[in-house]
A and B are shown apart, each in its own frame.
Chain A
Amino acid sequence: MRRAWLLALVAAPALAAAQTITFDNTFINSTECAGTGDITLNWNVALKGITALPTGASVQVYATNQDPAITAGNDCPVEGTPSGRHVGTVGSPISTSTVSVTGQVFATKEFVTAAQVTCSDNQQIWVCVQAFDAAGATGNKVGSAVGGPLKVKVSKPLTQTGVSAAGGDRSLHVSWTDPNSPPTSKYQIVAASILDPTFVSSMFVQDPRDMVVHRMNVTSTSDNRLGDLVNDVVYALVAYAFDEADNVSDPSMIVTGTPSEVNDFWDAYSAAGGREQGGCSSGPAGALGLLVAAASLIAARSFGRRK
């Protein structure tokens, strides 16, 4: 009896792991909900009553707005009940005792349509995978798995405020305030050179010294160093925020900044008339350096031999 319990305990995680669906992204954003984008599914479905799927068997994918955990039988819904709708078919599943499939790509919009949800926040979609021993969904259901929910989030993050751009050497140090609660934690800075700092945003002309549009993805709101810029060129920049579903905020207010030459410590020391010239010492001092280096090597070898 005790052995049976032990076996059950050992087997339980394996059984649980045998029926899973995972997604490359559990959020559906506004772009995806409107019809662009894909969702990649991976699943494991344990077969019941048979050891392998016969030739011609199929795996059907469904989406529903009902949590299968609270539906009758705690199982995936069948077509139309409740609100379950067909998303797609995998015609040639791998014929093993566990139908294991990775990288199945479906259009995100298909899930939204099948689950009959609207493109508004807090809508949820569960995905069901069902294996049948015949083509289509005409045979006996010999295995299933459920995953989700996929969460619909289409609202944009709030626009970033208080953007500032302090000039550094070939760089701008950009900071701002994130009004989102909680903060979104994914941002992008976009900067382009302009000729006239009093520009009208839609009419400015890029400075020919730097025609590159600079983008940098960051995770902090403070002191983000945007490098590879050109000194004395005026740059206009904005910050965007991205939420967990990759919805993008409206651009922040445009601010300008100008990289300028900066003296580092060595520059300041040299400019002050410092006598150090850099490089390794020569003459007696250099010989001493060699002596120290040689002694280090000897000590290291000696220590190595001891070990």
Chain B
Amino acid sequence: MIRSFAALAAALLATTARAESPRWGSFEFQAGTYLPDIDSEFAGTTVRPFADILGGSGWMFRAGVSRALFTSAGSLEVGVQSGYFQKTGKGRFLNGAESPDETKLKIIPMSLTLTYRFDVLAERLHVPLAPYARVGLERFAWWVTDGNGDTSMKGATNGWSAAAGLALLLDFFDPGLAREMDADSGVNHTYLFAEARKTTIDDFGSSSSWNLSEKNIAWSGGLLFIF
């Protein structure tokens, strides 16, 4: 038992005591669910174009890069993200019956983000967890295609987002590999994270924009590389 604790302590110390390469920022990619709240503008009616034709939530994939502004008491980073979302459904004949033709809503989200990651726990106190918070300005470029693959309409809708998450420092499990990765590629740390995000994408309440806000809370997970 004592030997196990000693090994664990050694691993923890090895995680933090090593000399790291200089830090610039971070890179991440994530996958999560997304359900645009387009139908909200039809509240009080029985009309639900998104639900009726495209159904429920789909997968959104994002990748982002951030520049560290400071790293002395946690990390503050400013960055950009982009990704892709697509939802496919069946078009409707004029009598309302389902047609075999597909129709798609495609979205490329673009974000300008500010992230604070409390990585003091992981880097100094040997607890491999780093909670973080993020706010972002969002711009969703979107387009709708018909059964022929032609674009019926396209546009862009802006908004903001707020997110909170918890990152697990993977270096903790294999400090040797982490050191090797830092030496080979300059990646200081690797985190596995889970995130909850609330987005409000409606051109800040514009009366001529639809509502691409996440209907509920968008959950996502991914990998974060500090380099």
A residues neighboring B (CB under 8 Å):
166-171, 173, 223, 225, 227, 260-269, 272-281, 284-286, 288-289, 291-293, 295-296, 299-300, 302-303, 306
Contact = CB atoms under 8 A, between A and B. Distances in A.
Contacts, number: 158
Given A169-B91, A295-B80, A265 B112 contact: no
A265 B152 CA distance: 9
A266 B82 contact: no
Q: Chain A interface secondary structure, helix, strand, loop or mixed?
A: mixed
Contacts of B198: none
Contacts of B112: 291-292, 295-296
B131 interface: no
A279 B153 CA distance: 8
Interface of B: 24, 38, 41-42, 47, 49-50, 52-54, 65, 67, 78-80, 82, 89, 91-94, 99-101, 103-105, 110-112, 137-139, 144-148, 152-158, 203-204, 206-210
A3 B138 CA distance: 69
20 contacts: A170-B148, A171-B148, A223-B100, A264-B146, A264-B147, A264-B152, A266-B146, A266-B153, A267-B152, A268-B52, A269-B49, A276-B210, A277-B155, A277-B208, A281-B156, A285-B157, A288-B137, A292-B158, A295-B80, A302-B67
A155 B204 CA distance: 69
B93 A281 contact: no
A265 B91 contact: yes
A39 B10 CA distance: 74
A292 B137 contact: yes
Contact of A285 (B78, B94, B104, B203): B203
Contacts of A223: 100
Contacts of A269: 38, 49-50, 210
Contact of B148 (A169, A173, A267): A169
A196 B208 CA distance: 47
Contact of B91 (A263, A277, A280): A263
B158 A262 contact: no
A265 B147 CA distance: 10
Contacts of B89: 265
